[in-house]
Amino acid sequence: MNRREFVTALVALPALVRPAAAEVSSIKLGKQYGLPFLPQMVMEEQKLIESHAQRLGVNGLTVGWQTMGGPGALNDGLLSGQIQFVNVASPSLATLWDKTFGSPQEVRAVCTVQSMPYVLTTRNPNVKTIADFSASDRIAVPTVKISGQAMALQMAAAKLWGFEKYDRLDEFTVTMGHPDAMQSMLTGQTVNSHFAVAPFNYYELKNPTIHIVLKSYDTDGKHTNGIQVTTKTFHDANPKICMAVRASHEEANAFIKREPKAAAQIYLKLTNDKKNSADDLVAMITDPDIDYTTAPANLMKHVEFMHKVGRMKHMPTSWQDLFFAEARDLKGS
Protein backbone atom coordinates (compact mmCIF):
# COMPACT_ATOMS: atom_id res chain seq x y z
CA MET A 1 0.00 0.00 0.00
CA ASN A 2 1.49 3.35 -0.98
CA ARG A 3 1.27 6.49 1.17
CA ARG A 4 -1.71 7.92 -0.70
CA GLU A 5 -3.70 4.67 -0.34
CA PHE A 6 -2.81 4.48 3.35
CA VAL A 7 -4.00 8.05 4.02
CA THR A 8 -7.19 7.45 2.06
CA ALA A 9 -7.92 4.30 4.08
CA LEU A 10 -7.15 6.13 7.34
CA VAL A 11 -9.60 8.93 6.50
CA ALA A 12 -12.31 6.40 5.59
CA LEU A 13 -11.87 4.32 8.74
CA PRO A 14 -13.81 6.55 11.18
CA ALA A 15 -16.80 6.44 8.89
CA LEU A 16 -16.74 2.65 9.05
CA VAL A 17 -16.45 2.38 12.81
CA ARG A 18 -18.49 5.44 13.80
CA PRO A 19 -21.75 4.38 15.48
CA ALA A 20 -24.99 5.22 13.69
CA ALA A 21 -26.20 8.75 14.37
CA ALA A 22 -28.60 8.96 17.26
CA GLU A 23 -32.18 9.92 16.56
CA VAL A 24 -33.30 13.36 17.67
CA SER A 25 -33.98 13.97 21.35
CA SER A 26 -37.10 16.09 20.90
CA ILE A 27 -39.96 16.42 18.45
CA LYS A 28 -43.00 18.64 18.04
CA LEU A 29 -46.35 17.59 16.61
CA GLY A 30 -48.96 19.94 15.18
CA LYS A 31 -52.72 19.55 15.36
CA GLN A 32 -55.93 21.53 15.03
CA TYR A 33 -59.16 21.66 17.03
CA GLY A 34 -61.89 19.09 17.59
CA LEU A 35 -62.51 15.35 17.81
CA PRO A 36 -60.52 14.58 14.63
CA PHE A 37 -57.49 15.10 16.87
CA LEU A 38 -58.67 12.96 19.79
CA PRO A 39 -56.06 10.22 19.17
CA GLN A 40 -53.31 12.80 19.49
CA MET A 41 -54.82 14.10 22.73
CA VAL A 42 -54.76 10.56 24.11
CA MET A 43 -51.15 10.22 22.92
CA GLU A 44 -50.26 13.49 24.64
CA GLU A 45 -52.02 12.72 27.93
CA GLN A 46 -50.71 9.15 28.18
CA LYS A 47 -47.25 9.95 26.78
CA LEU A 48 -47.58 7.13 24.29
CA ILE A 49 -44.92 8.34 21.87
CA GLU A 50 -42.39 8.62 24.67
CA SER A 51 -43.25 5.12 25.85
CA HIS A 52 -43.02 3.50 22.41
CA ALA A 53 -39.84 5.40 21.58
CA GLN A 54 -38.21 4.10 24.76
CA ARG A 55 -39.31 0.56 23.90
CA LEU A 56 -37.57 0.97 20.54
CA GLY A 57 -34.36 2.25 22.11
CA VAL A 58 -34.87 6.04 21.89
CA ASN A 59 -34.60 7.06 25.53
CA GLY A 60 -35.63 10.40 27.02
CA LEU A 61 -37.52 11.67 23.96
CA THR A 62 -39.20 15.02 24.62
CA VAL A 63 -42.52 15.45 22.81
CA GLY A 64 -44.17 18.84 22.35
CA TRP A 65 -47.62 19.64 20.96
CA GLN A 66 -48.81 22.72 19.08
CA THR A 67 -52.43 23.49 18.18
CA MET A 68 -53.13 25.73 15.17
CA GLY A 69 -56.31 26.97 13.53
CA GLY A 70 -55.83 25.67 9.99
CA PRO A 71 -53.67 23.61 7.62
CA GLY A 72 -51.74 26.55 6.18
CA ALA A 73 -49.82 27.20 9.41
CA LEU A 74 -49.25 23.47 9.96
CA ASN A 75 -47.87 23.01 6.43
CA ASP A 76 -45.52 25.98 6.87
CA GLY A 77 -44.35 24.64 10.23
CA LEU A 78 -43.55 21.24 8.74
CA LEU A 79 -41.65 22.56 5.72
CA SER A 80 -39.66 25.00 7.85
CA GLY A 81 -38.64 22.24 10.25
CA GLN A 82 -40.29 23.86 13.27
CA ILE A 83 -42.72 20.92 13.53
CA GLN A 84 -41.76 17.34 12.72
CA PHE A 85 -45.23 15.77 12.40
CA VAL A 86 -48.52 17.35 11.38
CA ASN A 87 -52.03 15.91 11.22
CA VAL A 88 -53.61 17.18 8.01
CA ALA A 89 -56.51 16.38 5.70
CA SER A 90 -56.03 14.74 2.31
CA PRO A 91 -55.74 18.04 0.33
CA SER A 92 -52.80 19.14 2.47
CA LEU A 93 -51.06 15.78 2.14
CA ALA A 94 -51.52 15.85 -1.63
CA THR A 95 -50.33 19.47 -1.88
CA LEU A 96 -47.29 18.88 0.33
CA TRP A 97 -46.34 15.66 -1.48
CA ASP A 98 -46.70 17.34 -4.88
CA LYS A 99 -44.73 20.43 -3.85
CA THR A 100 -41.84 18.38 -2.42
CA PHE A 101 -41.96 15.46 -4.87
CA GLY A 102 -38.51 13.95 -5.54
CA SER A 103 -36.72 16.16 -3.01
CA PRO A 104 -35.13 15.19 0.32
CA GLN A 105 -37.98 17.04 2.00
CA GLU A 106 -40.66 14.99 0.23
CA VAL A 107 -43.69 14.76 2.51
CA ARG A 108 -45.41 11.42 2.99
CA ALA A 109 -47.78 9.85 5.48
CA VAL A 110 -46.91 7.64 8.43
CA CYS A 111 -50.55 6.58 8.88
CA THR A 112 -54.03 8.06 8.91
CA VAL A 113 -55.69 9.30 12.10
CA GLN A 114 -59.40 8.80 11.48
CA SER A 115 -62.28 8.87 9.02
CA MET A 116 -64.92 11.47 9.85
CA PRO A 117 -67.39 13.54 7.82
CA TYR A 118 -67.34 17.29 7.42
CA VAL A 119 -70.79 18.62 8.28
CA LEU A 120 -72.05 21.83 6.65
CA THR A 121 -74.46 23.73 8.91
CA THR A 122 -76.30 27.01 8.44
CA ARG A 123 -78.62 29.30 10.31
CA ASN A 124 -80.15 30.61 7.06
CA PRO A 125 -83.64 29.01 6.98
CA ASN A 126 -83.80 29.42 3.19
CA VAL A 127 -80.75 27.23 2.56
CA LYS A 128 -81.86 23.61 2.22
CA THR A 129 -79.14 22.48 -0.21
CA ILE A 130 -75.91 24.04 -1.45
CA ALA A 131 -77.85 25.30 -4.47
CA ASP A 132 -79.59 27.79 -2.17
CA PHE A 133 -76.46 29.67 -1.08
CA SER A 134 -76.24 33.25 -2.36
CA ALA A 135 -74.01 36.30 -2.06
CA SER A 136 -75.58 37.10 1.31
CA ASP A 137 -74.14 33.90 2.84
CA ARG A 138 -70.70 33.35 4.30
CA ILE A 139 -69.39 29.81 4.85
CA ALA A 140 -66.55 29.30 7.34
CA VAL A 141 -63.85 26.74 6.48
CA PRO A 142 -60.45 26.29 8.20
CA THR A 143 -58.62 27.64 5.13
CA VAL A 144 -60.26 28.71 1.89
CA LYS A 145 -59.49 26.58 -1.19
CA ILE A 146 -56.95 24.24 0.48
CA SER A 147 -58.68 22.75 3.54
CA GLY A 148 -60.55 19.45 3.44
CA GLN A 149 -63.82 21.31 3.96
CA ALA A 150 -63.12 23.72 1.11
CA MET A 151 -62.43 20.80 -1.22
CA ALA A 152 -65.52 18.91 -0.02
CA LEU A 153 -67.59 21.95 -0.96
CA GLN A 154 -65.96 22.03 -4.40
CA MET A 155 -66.62 18.34 -4.94
CA ALA A 156 -70.26 18.79 -3.97
CA ALA A 157 -70.54 21.74 -6.38
CA ALA A 158 -68.97 19.70 -9.19
CA LYS A 159 -71.44 16.89 -8.56
CA LEU A 160 -74.42 19.27 -8.63
CA TRP A 161 -73.53 21.71 -11.42
CA GLY A 162 -70.88 19.85 -13.42
CA PHE A 163 -67.14 19.75 -13.04
CA GLU A 164 -66.48 23.10 -14.70
CA LYS A 165 -68.49 24.78 -11.89
CA TYR A 166 -66.57 23.13 -9.06
CA ASP A 167 -65.50 26.51 -7.61
CA ARG A 168 -68.92 28.14 -7.83
CA LEU A 169 -69.23 28.49 -4.04
CA ASP A 170 -65.64 29.50 -3.32
CA GLU A 171 -66.52 33.19 -3.26
CA PHE A 172 -68.80 32.59 -0.28
CA THR A 173 -66.11 30.91 1.85
CA VAL A 174 -64.01 32.61 4.53
CA THR A 175 -61.07 31.33 6.55
CA MET A 176 -61.93 30.80 10.21
CA GLY A 177 -60.88 28.27 12.85
CA HIS A 178 -63.61 25.96 14.14
CA PRO A 179 -63.96 27.50 17.63
CA ASP A 180 -64.34 31.03 16.21
CA ALA A 181 -66.68 29.82 13.46
CA MET A 182 -68.91 28.09 16.01
CA GLN A 183 -69.03 31.20 18.17
CA SER A 184 -69.90 33.29 15.13
CA MET A 185 -72.67 30.88 14.18
CA LEU A 186 -74.18 30.92 17.66
CA THR A 187 -74.03 34.71 18.06
CA GLY A 188 -75.06 35.66 14.53
CA GLN A 189 -71.84 37.45 13.63
CA THR A 190 -69.57 37.29 10.54
CA VAL A 191 -70.64 33.91 9.13
CA ASN A 192 -74.02 32.22 8.91
CA SER A 193 -72.73 28.81 7.76
CA HIS A 194 -69.92 26.53 8.84
CA PHE A 195 -68.37 23.42 7.30
CA ALA A 196 -67.59 21.86 10.67
CA VAL A 197 -66.11 18.76 12.25
CA ALA A 198 -67.15 17.11 15.50
CA PRO A 199 -67.78 18.29 18.14
CA PHE A 200 -68.52 21.74 16.71
CA ASN A 201 -71.41 20.66 14.47
CA TYR A 202 -73.01 18.93 17.48
CA TYR A 203 -72.72 22.13 19.53
CA GLU A 204 -74.25 24.21 16.76
CA LEU A 205 -77.13 21.83 16.10
CA LYS A 206 -78.31 22.17 19.70
CA ASN A 207 -79.49 25.60 18.56
CA PRO A 208 -82.92 25.12 16.92
CA THR A 209 -82.19 27.86 14.36
CA ILE A 210 -79.26 25.88 12.89
CA HIS A 211 -79.64 22.89 10.59
CA ILE A 212 -77.53 20.57 8.38
CA VAL A 213 -77.16 21.32 4.67
CA LEU A 214 -74.68 18.62 3.66
CA LYS A 215 -72.36 15.90 4.93
CA SER A 216 -69.19 15.27 2.96
CA TYR A 217 -69.95 11.53 3.05
CA ASP A 218 -72.99 12.34 0.87
CA THR A 219 -70.66 13.28 -1.99
CA ASP A 220 -67.89 10.69 -1.93
CA GLY A 221 -68.69 8.16 0.79
CA LYS A 222 -66.70 7.50 3.94
CA HIS A 223 -63.34 9.23 3.66
CA THR A 224 -60.17 9.89 5.58
CA ASN A 225 -60.21 13.15 7.49
CA GLY A 226 -56.82 13.24 9.23
CA ILE A 227 -53.39 11.95 8.17
CA GLN A 228 -50.14 12.00 10.15
CA VAL A 229 -47.29 13.18 7.93
CA THR A 230 -43.60 14.04 8.10
CA THR A 231 -40.73 14.67 5.68
CA LYS A 232 -38.52 12.02 4.07
CA THR A 233 -35.45 13.69 5.59
CA PHE A 234 -36.82 13.35 9.10
CA HIS A 235 -38.24 9.89 8.50
CA ASP A 236 -35.01 8.44 7.11
CA ALA A 237 -32.94 9.88 9.96
CA ASN A 238 -35.42 8.89 12.67
CA PRO A 239 -37.07 5.58 11.71
CA LYS A 240 -37.63 4.47 15.29
CA ILE A 241 -39.45 7.68 16.20
CA CYS A 242 -41.67 7.26 13.14
CA MET A 243 -42.40 3.70 14.23
CA ALA A 244 -43.23 5.00 17.71
CA VAL A 245 -45.67 7.54 16.29
CA ARG A 246 -47.45 4.86 14.24
CA ALA A 247 -47.61 2.49 17.23
CA SER A 248 -48.94 5.31 19.41
CA HIS A 249 -51.77 5.96 16.99
CA GLU A 250 -52.69 2.28 16.99
CA GLU A 251 -52.71 2.21 20.80
CA ALA A 252 -54.67 5.46 21.08
CA ASN A 253 -57.30 4.25 18.60
CA ALA A 254 -57.73 1.00 20.52
CA PHE A 255 -58.07 2.94 23.76
CA ILE A 256 -60.75 5.25 22.30
CA LYS A 257 -62.80 2.30 21.07
CA ARG A 258 -62.36 0.36 24.31
CA GLU A 259 -62.84 3.25 26.74
CA PRO A 260 -64.71 6.08 25.00
CA LYS A 261 -65.67 7.78 28.26
CA ALA A 262 -62.07 7.91 29.47
CA ALA A 263 -61.08 9.31 26.06
CA ALA A 264 -63.86 11.89 26.36
CA GLN A 265 -62.54 12.97 29.73
CA ILE A 266 -59.08 13.47 28.22
CA TYR A 267 -60.63 15.64 25.50
CA LEU A 268 -62.51 17.74 28.06
CA LYS A 269 -59.35 18.20 30.13
CA LEU A 270 -57.02 19.18 27.31
CA THR A 271 -59.48 21.47 25.54
CA ASN A 272 -60.98 22.99 28.70
CA ASP A 273 -64.38 22.30 27.14
CA LYS A 274 -67.13 23.53 29.49
CA LYS A 275 -70.02 23.04 27.05
CA ASN A 276 -70.37 19.28 27.31
CA SER A 277 -70.21 16.38 29.69
CA ALA A 278 -68.20 13.23 29.10
CA ASP A 279 -71.45 11.45 28.24
CA ASP A 280 -72.17 14.06 25.54
CA LEU A 281 -68.79 13.41 23.99
CA VAL A 282 -69.18 9.63 24.20
CA ALA A 283 -72.26 9.93 21.97
CA MET A 284 -70.15 11.79 19.42
CA ILE A 285 -67.09 9.52 19.65
CA THR A 286 -69.21 6.40 19.14
CA ASP A 287 -71.15 7.88 16.20
CA PRO A 288 -71.08 5.24 13.40
CA ASP A 289 -69.81 7.91 10.99
CA ILE A 290 -66.60 8.26 13.02
CA ASP A 291 -63.83 5.68 12.77
CA TYR A 292 -60.49 6.12 14.50
CA THR A 293 -58.26 4.13 12.17
CA THR A 294 -54.76 4.26 10.70
CA ALA A 295 -55.92 2.98 7.27
CA PRO A 296 -56.90 5.46 4.50
CA ALA A 297 -60.39 5.54 3.02
CA ASN A 298 -61.23 7.05 -0.39
CA LEU A 299 -58.01 9.04 -0.36
CA MET A 300 -57.49 8.66 -4.09
CA LYS A 301 -60.89 10.21 -4.88
CA HIS A 302 -59.65 13.43 -3.30
CA VAL A 303 -56.25 13.22 -4.98
CA GLU A 304 -57.79 12.59 -8.40
CA PHE A 305 -60.09 15.59 -7.96
CA MET A 306 -57.17 17.84 -7.04
CA HIS A 307 -55.17 16.66 -10.04
CA LYS A 308 -58.13 17.25 -12.33
CA VAL A 309 -58.60 20.85 -11.16
CA GLY A 310 -54.88 21.55 -11.65
CA ARG A 311 -53.81 21.73 -8.02
CA MET A 312 -51.28 18.89 -8.45
CA LYS A 313 -48.60 18.43 -11.11
CA HIS A 314 -47.80 14.84 -10.19
CA MET A 315 -50.34 12.06 -10.01
CA PRO A 316 -49.62 9.11 -7.70
CA THR A 317 -50.43 5.67 -9.07
CA SER A 318 -52.10 4.69 -5.78
CA TRP A 319 -52.50 5.92 -2.21
CA GLN A 320 -49.37 3.95 -1.32
CA ASP A 321 -47.19 6.44 -3.21
CA LEU A 322 -48.19 9.03 -0.62
CA PHE A 323 -47.15 6.86 2.34
CA PHE A 324 -43.81 5.63 3.62
CA ALA A 325 -43.04 2.04 2.68
CA GLU A 326 -43.69 0.56 6.12
CA ALA A 327 -47.27 1.91 6.06
CA ARG A 328 -48.16 0.02 2.91
CA ASP A 329 -49.38 -2.92 4.96
CA LEU A 330 -52.46 -0.85 5.77
CA LYS A 331 -55.60 -1.96 3.96
CA GLY A 332 -56.82 1.29 2.48
CA SER A 333 -58.05 3.03 -0.63
pLDDT in tens, 307-317: 999 999 999 99
Q: Quick one: 140 and 276 in the same domain?
A: no
Least Cα distance to 87 among 27, 30, 152 occurs for: 30
Is 179 among the domain residues?
A: yes
Is 143 among the domain residues?
A: yes
Q: Quick one: 60 and 110 in the same domain?
A: yes
User: What's the pLDDT at 3?
Assistant: 35
* Domain closes at, from 174, 198, 220: 220
In this prediction, residue 318 has a pLDDT band, given cuts at 50, 70 and 90, of very high
- Reported residue count of the chain is 333
185 secondary structure, DSSP code? H
Q: Quick one: 28 and 166 in the same domain?
A: no
- Sort residue 212 into left (φ over 0), alpha (ψ -120 to 50) or beta: beta
Q: Quick one: 236 and 307 in the same domain?
A: yes
Is 56 among the domain residues?
A: yes
Q: Quick one: 60 and 30 in the same domain?
A: yes
| Gap between the Cα atoms of 132 and 142, Å rounded | 22
Q: Quick one: 92 and 27 in the same domain?
A: yes
In this prediction, residue 256 has a pLDDT band, given cuts at 50, 70 and 90, of very high
Q: Are the CB atoms for 204 and 120 separated by under 8 Å?
A: no
Q: Quick one: 61 and 157 in the same domain?
A: no
Q: Quick one: 249 and 227 in the same domain?
A: yes
Least Cα distance to 228 among 116, 56, 117, 74 occurs for: 74
Asked if omega into 179 is within 30° of 0 (cis), the reply is: no
Q: Quick one: 232 and 109 in the same domain?
A: yes
267-296, pLDDT tens digit by residue?
Answer: 999 998 887 899 999 999 999 999 999 999
Question: How large a percentage of the chain has pLDDT more than 70?
Answer: 93
Is 229 among the domain residues?
A: yes
129 secondary structure, DSSP code? S
Is 77 among the domain residues?
A: yes
* Domain closes at, from 165, 185, 220: 220
Q: Is the pLDDT of residue 325 over 60?
A: yes
Any residues with CB less than 8 A from the CB of 275 and at least 6 apart, and which? 203
| Gap between the Cα atoms of 117 and 124, Å rounded | 21
Give the count of beta carbons closer than 10 Å to the beta carbon of residue 329. Answer: 10
Least Cα distance to 33 among 273, 249, 310 occurs for: 273
Q: Find the domain containing 215 and state its range.
A: 119-220
Is 168 among the domain residues?
A: yes
pTM of the model: 0.85
Q: Quick one: 54 and 170 in the same domain?
A: no
Q: What is the CATH number of the domain that holds 141?
A: 3.40.190.10
Q: Quick one: 112 and 228 in the same domain?
A: yes
User: What's the pLDDT at 99?
Assistant: 94
Specify the number of domains making up the chain.
2
Backbone φ and ψ for 178, nearest 5 degrees, come out as -55, -45
How far from 328 is each of 39, 47, 89, 111, CA to CA, in Å?
Answer: 21, 26, 19, 9
Question: Going by DSSP bridges, is the β-strand pair 224-231/85-88 parallel, antiparallel, or unpaired?
Answer: antiparallel
* Domain closes at, from 186, 220, 254: 220
User: What's the pLDDT at 251?
Assistant: 98
Is 78 among the domain residues?
A: yes
Is 292 among the domain residues?
A: yes
User: What's the pLDDT at 273?
Assistant: 83
